[in-house]
Amino acid sequence: MTEDHPPALLPQNSRSDCDSDAMSDGIEIQQHGPVPASDPVEKGGEHHDFIALRAGGAFVALDVSKGMRPIILYAGIDMPGVSPHELAVLATRQHAPGSASVPLRGSLLNEIGTGISGASGLIAHRSGEDWAIDLRIADVDQPTAHEVVIRCEDRNTGIGSEHSLYLDPKTGMLVCNTTICNHAENELEVDWCAALSLPFDARMTRFLSFTGKWSGEFAVEEVPDFQGSIVRENKSGRTSHNVFPGGILAAPGTTELQGPASGFHLAWSGNHRLRVDRHSDGHCVVQLGEMTFPGEIRLAKGESYSTPELLACWSDRGLNGVSQQFHNYLTECVSDNRAFNKPRPVHYNTWEAVYFNHNEAALMELAALAADVGAERFVLDDGWFGSRRHDGAGLGDWWVSEEIYPQGLHPLASKVRELGMEFGLWVEPEMVNPDSDLYRAHPDWVLAAQGVEAVPFRGQLTLDLTKPEVFDYLFERITDLVGTYGIGYLKWDMNRDTNHPASSGRGAMHRQTKAVYRLFEKLRSVHPALEIESCSSGGARADFGIMTHADRIWTSDNNDARQRHHIMRGASHFFPMRVLGNHVGPRTCHITGRKFSMPFRVASAFFGHMGMELDLRSENASDLETLKRGIALHKQHRELIHSGDFWRLPSASNTNLVGCVAKDRDEALFGYAKLESELETLPAKVCFGGLDPARKYRVKMIWPLFNPSVSTPSIVDAASLGGEGTVFSGAALMQHGMQPPLTYPDTCIIYHLKACE
């Protein structure tokens, strides 16, 4: 196998060009580009070559001495003026009694041949031979000051590797991956290859892991200091609800606002393995890579396998520092700008209003109501095609149901456009119901391991997109729908785990994931204005791999206005507000059965890419008016919400305080949600964040549209928050904080701050 589709986030010149000639060139350090590739010194009688990558406030120092194993001496926040060779001396490993007689030198993968007893980042063999791999540097290429490509070889096993490390100059994000090449005659089986074994400062003893479930995505689970290994594996065939491919390491005293922290993430939407190893010698190493099935990656002579990209960043500004780097990197380097060159349109989605009960007249009525309250995009959800009257039939038959829509979607799409909205459509291209014309015609088009029954899962199976005929069928169907109905937006869903995906008898999740990316890419290149949302039973396909091809994430099916605060706060560790779909749900939440007022529902959907998902016909006139005013307010402030820095602020366990602050700190919005009753007599002070301490800000309360205080006197009157507001200094607002009014639970106040000259 040779990669048909190179990793997407590394710059072109950092991508693998591994081929069978790489081995015969011998060992050589290449010097390229505007900066010296290496910085040679003598250390302990040995010749050493060092590389320093510095960009965006980050610093990666490597020992790249030819014929030796490549080593990351340091990866973290820049230490201006510090040279790699002083770090090499400072990090001198000494002999430890009871261990190997010489200090063991690891590598970028800590492969078995290094003798390192901890987790190996590369497990490969030829039918049980050639597994003691020991990769030594053959050549090093440094095209620019902030990137390096290190090529290694193991002459003994005939295996080569290529490691790309790129520091993004704008954000300081490290983007790296590894390519393994087989140079020998016999097939090489790669069982595991991490993108890199990346060392982290062992003083960051707290591990924040992101877990969750359907309707409870992005739950933060903190693992305190530990010795040994934490391994989190996902083989659900999608990014998954319960094992997010990323995490954060933080020091004991680190808060949202201060202290050292670092984040890492695998930009990949298939299976993965994440491990954090704390060795007894004081080293902490993170590995993230694709988890493949036995025999899935087999390389013939000259073939190569490239891992997905690992992203990592460091901050001394607390957890927000890490999150803001991820947000900036996604914005600047991952997303294309088709979506962000225009304001994020407010959605109306039909799912919770009608489910599978489609009726043209009812949908037209909903469209009119949606437009009236301010929707700008109408998304027709599941149920419009084939025999899809329930979730057990029709998937795969991507033709408009003639029974429901005798004239196709034209009347509805035209009505939507007449009302001034864009028309969007739900699809689930990778799936098929056995009860469908497609499956009856092509039962062999699904991924299936021979002799193994598919796990029942929402009555559907996964199509084999590695088959060109399947890929072409899906492309043809979707491109036809997009063209015929002038569709501006697809909600692209994926509603089952793919448990043992095989194609032609071989594990195929790697190829399937790449094929899905290719399908997105092909559709987007043919329809340059088309936006796509990544949905997978809510947020089970949210990662930077899919976001190379998509514009929005459906964060969760859970529109419970209280729980949504936790889900959005969790997701914000990696994703910026502009890509996180957040909808106003019905008065009685369909998932939790809890009831929420319209002001609270509006405020809970205010931060994020706002939308609605409720039956507007059953809302009363006063709630519709509140909704309309809330949407208008969101539109007034969405540029700030979608382009400012997002801040999670320290919040008592019964509240959620978040904010968006303009990059020039001229303006800010803060949302303060009371989720449970008071813990003490009065609510704790709210300390804003991210402001300029030296400037003055006029603070107003812009939501709700009434005074939510249940006691008088309150700050709302004292500071005229509902009227002209009051001017306070940034320092006072951040350090002293402001007393919020006493309110009932399920109240969310939105403060607007504008700097005064």
Task: Kindly state the DSSP code that residue 129 receives in the 8-state scheme.
Answer: B
The span of 91-99, 115-123, 245-253, 533-541 binding ligand GLA (CB under 6 A) equals 533-541
Q: Which residue is nearest to ligand GLA (CB)?
A: 382
> Strands 174-182, 580-584: parallel, antiparallel or unpaired by DSSP?
unpaired
- Does position 584 interact with ligand GLA (CB under 6 A)? The reply is no
Task: Please report, to the nearest 10 degrees, the dihedral formed by the alpha carbons of residues 335, 339, 341, 345 taken in order.
Answer: -140
Angle at 513 (CA atoms; ends 301, 303), nearest 5 degrees = 5
DSSP string for residues in 526-555: HSTT-EEEE-BTTBSS-STTGGGT-SEEE-
For residue 32 the two structure tokens come to 């390229």
Between 250 and 427, CB nearer to ligand GLA = 427
- Type of residue numbered 572: S
Among 256, 382, 551, 645, binds ligand GLA (CB under 6 A): 382
Tell me the CA end-to-end span of the chain in Å, nearest whole number. Answer: 63
Q: Which is nearer to ligand GLA, 178 or 495 (CB)?
A: 495
Between residues 351 and 398, which has the closer beta carbon with respect to ligand GLA? 351
Residues in CB range of 179: below 8 A, 6 or more apart: 3, 16, 18, 161, 162, 164, 304, 305, 306, 307
CB of 356 or CB of 475, closer to ligand GLA? 356
Around 398, how many Cα atoms within 13 Å sit in the side-chain half-sphere?
Answer: 21
Which residue stretch of 125-133, 273-281, 328-336, 531-539 sits at the interface with ligand GLA (rule: CB under 6 A)? 531-539
Indicate which residue of 277, 382, 493, 543 is catalytic.
493
Helix axes 598-606, 563-571, angle to 10 degrees: 0
State how far the Cα of 733 lies from the Cα of 13, in Å rounded to an integer: 47
Interface pick for ligand GLA out of 110, 271, 292, 495 (rule CB under 6 A): 495
Q: In angstroms, what is the minimal distance from the CB of 265 to ligand GLA?
A: 22
Structure tokens at 504: 């032609």
Site for ligand GLA in 321-340 (CB under 6 A): none
- Listed in sequence order, the residues at least 6 apart from 406 whose beta carbon sits closer than 8 Å to its beta carbon are none
In whole angstroms, what is the distance from residue 120 CA to residue 309 CA?
Answer: 18
The CA distance from 50 to 63, in Å, is: 5
Decide if 64 contacts 152 (C-beta within 8 A). Answer: no
Tell me the closest approach of the beta carbon of residue 538 to ligand GLA, in angstroms. Answer: 5
Q: Which of 374, 488, 538, 630 binds ligand GLA (CB under 6 A)?
A: 538
> Using an 8 Å Cβ cutoff, are 223 and 313 in contact?
no
SS3 68: coil
Nearer residue to ligand GLA within complex by CB, 205 or 387: 387
426 binds ligand GLA (CB under 6 A): yes
Site string for ligand GLA, 545-564 (x = CB under 6 A): ---------x--x-------
Catalytic residue from among 168, 435, 557, 623? 557
The phi, psi pair for 188, rounded to 5°, reads -110, 130
Among 162, 422, 464, 493, binds ligand GLA (CB under 6 A): 493
> Residue 244 CB, nearest distance to ligand GLA (Å)?
17
User: Closest distance between ligand GLA and the C-beta of residue 480, in Å?
Assistant: 21
Residue 52 or 427 having the CB closest to ligand GLA: 427
Cα–Cα distance, 48 to 112 (Å, whole number): 23
Q: Shortest approach of ligand GLA to residue 394 CB, angstroms?
A: 11
What number of chain residues touch ligand GLA (CB under 6 A)?
A: 12
Write a three-state SS string for 323-365: HHHHHHHHHHHHCCCCCCCCCCCCEEECHHHHCCCCCHHHHHH
Stretch that binds ligand GLA, among 99-107, 239-247, 404-412, 530-538 (CB under 6 A): 530-538
**Which span sits near ligand GLA by CB under 6 A: 97-105, 246-254, 501-509, 532-540?**
532-540
Per-residue CA distances from 557 to 281, 478, 602, 617 (Å): 45, 24, 16, 21
Q: In the complex with ligand GLA, which residue's Cβ is closer, 493 or 746? A: 493
Is 21 one of the annotated active-site residues of the chain? no
Q: With respect to ligand GLA, which residue has the nearer C-beta, 168 or 557? A: 557
Catalytic, 493? Answer: yes
Exactly one of 166, 351, 405, 606 binds ligand GLA (CB under 6 A); that residue is 351
Stretch that binds ligand GLA, among 157-165, 444-452, 506-514, 535-543 (CB under 6 A): 535-543
With contacts defined by CB under 6 A, name the span among 334-342, 470-478, 515-523, 534-542 that binds ligand GLA: 534-542
Q: Compute the distance between CA of residue 136 and CA of residue 134 in angstroms, rounded to an integer.
A: 6
Binding to ligand GLA (CB under 6 A): which residues in 386-425? 391
Note the residues at the interface with ligand GLA (CB under 6 A).
351, 381-382, 391, 426, 493, 495, 535, 537-538, 554, 557
The residues annotated with a catalytic role in the active site are 493, 557
